[in-house]
């Protein structure tokens, strides 16, 4: 069964430093998408970055990059130059293709706190 | 703004009551997914509709039901409410289903349900 694992319940980072949030996944699908979402304390779910299973290059979106290691089934999020506004819960998710639904499966999330 | 509209934002009701949560997907999106987020269970997939048809069911209780209408908006009906149903309920939309695994789900801002 598909599964997403985030092993860091909470992380601290100093403002302006980089931080890596870990994510490992398990799937038997050949085609899948990996996503990171940010959930601030206000509650909304904000899409950050995407990596496809066939993509050879790591995805980047501004200060966000995804360190994709397919053989190790990991998709870590790297946030560079952390800002106070980055304090939030971060979810790694996988969009499956089996079962003809394409639903997202989420990890348990990592709470990131940025210190001034 | 994700383009997904959920109403109401907040709902407070008593045990045993019935409520309806409404979702309007992004223009052009045919898939609607419902998720429940509670503190102890994380983000749980409830149900998926594609162009009016139910595609998949997740951890959805029998007391809960959903439908997607011809104009593609969706409603999630929760009945015989219990204290444990208190949670944040999200609707998300996508242009397709499993074949769109390389596209993100776009989330509404959620409906926060409190059962007293």
What CA–CA distance (Å, rounded) separates A110 from A7? Answer: 8
What CA–CA distance (Å, rounded) separates A97 from A99? Answer: 6
DSSP-derived 3-state class of residue A59 = coil
- Cα A24 to its chain centre, rounded Å, is 9
Shortest CA gap A70–chain B (Å):
16
Which are the contacts of B20, defined by CB distance < 8 A and separation ≥ 6? Answer: B75, B76, B77, B78
pLDDT single digits (tens) B49-90? 999 999 999 989 999 999 999 999 999 999 999 999 999 999
What CA–CA distance (Å, rounded) separates A26 from A39? Answer: 23
For B38, the closest chain A residue by CA position comes to A108
Residue of B88, B76, B86 lying closest to B32 (CA atoms): B76
Whether B105 contacts chain A with CB within 8 A:
yes
Interface of A with B in 76-115 (CB under 8 A): 91, 95-109
Shortest CA gap B81–chain A (Å):
22
Burial of A103 (0-12, 13-18, 19+ CB in 10 A): buried
Interface of B with A in 27-46 (CB under 8 A): 31, 33, 42-43, 45
For A106, the closest chain B residue by CA position comes to B43
pLDDT single digits (tens) A71-100? 999 999 999 999 999 999 999 999 988 777
Residue of B40, B7, B44 lying closest to A103 (CA atoms): B44
> At CA B110, angle to CA A95 and CA B112, rounded to 5?
130
What whole-number percentage of chain A has pLDDT above 70?
100
Whether B111 contacts chain A with CB within 8 A:
no
């Amino acid at each position: 069964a598909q599964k997403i694992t985030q092993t860091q319940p909470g992380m601290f980072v100093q403002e302006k430093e980089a931080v890596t949030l870990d994510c490992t996944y398990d799937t038997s699908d050949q085609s899948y998408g990996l996503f990171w979402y940010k959930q601030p304390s206000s509650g909304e779910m904000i899409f950050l970055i995407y990596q496809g299973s066939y993509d050879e290059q790591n995805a980047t979106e501004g200060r966000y990059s995804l360190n994709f290691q397919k053989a190790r089934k990991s998709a870590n999020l790297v946030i560079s130059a952390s800002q106070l506004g980055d304090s939030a819960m971060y979810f790694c998710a996988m969009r499956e293709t089996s079962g003809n639904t394409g639903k997202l499966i989420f990890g348990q999330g990592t709470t990131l706190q940025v210190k001034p | 703004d994700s383009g997904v509209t959920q109403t109401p934002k907040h709902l407070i009701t008593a045990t045993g009551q019935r409520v309806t949560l409404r979702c309007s997907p992004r223009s052009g999106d045919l898939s609607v997914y419902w998720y429940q987020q509670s503190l102890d269970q994380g983000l749980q997939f409830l149900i998926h509709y594609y162009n009016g048809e139910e595609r998949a069911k997740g951890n959805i209780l029998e007391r809960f039901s959903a439908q997607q209408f011809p104009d593609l908006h969706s409603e999630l009906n929760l009945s015989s409410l219990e204290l444990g149903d208190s949670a944040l309920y999200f609707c998300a939309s996508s242009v397709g289903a499993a074949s769109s695994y390389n596209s993100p789900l776009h989330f509404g801002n959620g409906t926060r349900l409190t059962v007293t």
